[in-house]
Amino acid sequence: MSTDGKIDVVVVEDSTVARELLVYILSSDPALRVVACARSGEEAIALISEKKPQVVTMDIVMPKMDGFETTRRLMETHPVPIIIVSSVYNPSDVAHTLRAMEAGALAAVEKPPGVHHPTYAARSKKLIETVKAMAEVRVVRRWPKAAQRSLPVDFPDAKADRAIRLIAIGASTGGPVVLQTILSHLPKPPPVPVVIVQHISAGFVQGLADWLGVASGIPVKVATDGEVLLPGRVYVAPDERQMKVEASGRITCVSADPENGLRPSVSYFFRSVAANFGTSAVGVLLTGMGRDGASELKLIRDAGGITFAQDEESSVVFGMPGEAVKCGAAMYVMNPESIGAALFALLRKSGIPMALPA
């Protein structure tokens, strides 16, 4: 924060109307201060170097240098928490948003509509909350691929005496890129279903599923209520629904109350994994703020499942996995590539017929 305690924000947006609206919304909160606005990627890079804000809101569609390329260059030269402000109604915008998150952006929110729109208040509140939350991420860390250490395919600690039936993953801030890394290490197709709760703004989950599917080479879909879990598929929890897995192998999605302020919640999901899959489950908790899923990862471990948490060095935010480590929920604490390699080894040693990764 600045010396007076305010959070300094740079707004990057090429549309005059949208830019003025964003400035109006952000300036309405006394904790935030818009210190500059940029109309292009080139202008943004120069302004951010000069103003050194705590947070940047980034448009996606801009002439010459789009939001993806601007984010990539900023993360190479002036790392700063970047929030993508995007239109979820434009599939191209959502695709670019996920690419920007791959380049280092921390979060994405839907562009607020005009002040007279019925969703204006809710979307404006979401934008302000996200800016405040991301300001707490002091260092946006990216792990260089050359420095990663993967476990060998014959992961020595893999348990050979159990049949794995489900891989359950929870993630939040910084999660999409980590999910991409882990899924890319799995056999194609994976011999068991993979089910994911990723905290992401409403409207982006279908784009996330599409992006993960292309990036990993594994079919990824948004889960629907009542569908049967199938091997070779990855399921992502839908917007604004709590998701659980039943002992029958079906997914249930309900409009239950938020947990830890979140819906979908990793905690809600992991409890069902522990209760209904027990020793045949693998639980993985990845980067993210807060403690969602940490205690419930411990339930999976106590039920005989195998549990992983992402390590601090590779986490954008070590909140959720850090809490899991503190409470003894994680049997293994690893970087994303090592988690992916370990999952492959566990599946191989479980005796499930599987193809080698591509």
User: Which three-class secondary structure string do you get for 87-129?
Assistant: CCCCHHHHHHHHHHHHHCCCEEEECCCCCCCCCHHHHHHHHHH
Burial class (CB in 10 A: 0-12, 13-18, 19+), 64: exposed
* 12-62 pLDDT, tens digit each: 999 999 999 999 999 999 999 999 999 999 999 999 999 999 999 999 989
Per-residue pLDDT tens for 239-248?
A: 999 999 999 9
- pLDDT per residue as tens digits for the range 59-83: 998 988 999 999 999 998 889 999 9
Q: Which structural domains are found in the chain, ordered by start?
A: 7-134 (3.40.50.2300), 150-349 (3.40.50.180)
Supply φ then ψ for residue 121, to 5 degrees: -60, -45
Q: According to the model, what pLDDT value does residue 277 have?
A: 97
The neighbouring-strand residues paired with 27 are: none
Q: Is residue 123 within 8 Å of 110, Cβ to Cβ?
A: yes
Distance spanning both ends of the chain, measured CA to CA: 45
**Catalytic positions:** 172, 199, 292
- Placement of tokens 């740079």 in the chain: 10
10 Å Cβ neighbour count for 63?
A: 10
Q: How far apart are CA 308 and CA 282, in angstroms?
A: 8
List the structure tokens of 74: 């900023």
Q: Which amino acid is at 120?
A: Y
User: Partners of 76 in the beta sheet?
Assistant: none
Euclidean distance between CA atoms 237 and 81, whole angstroms: 26
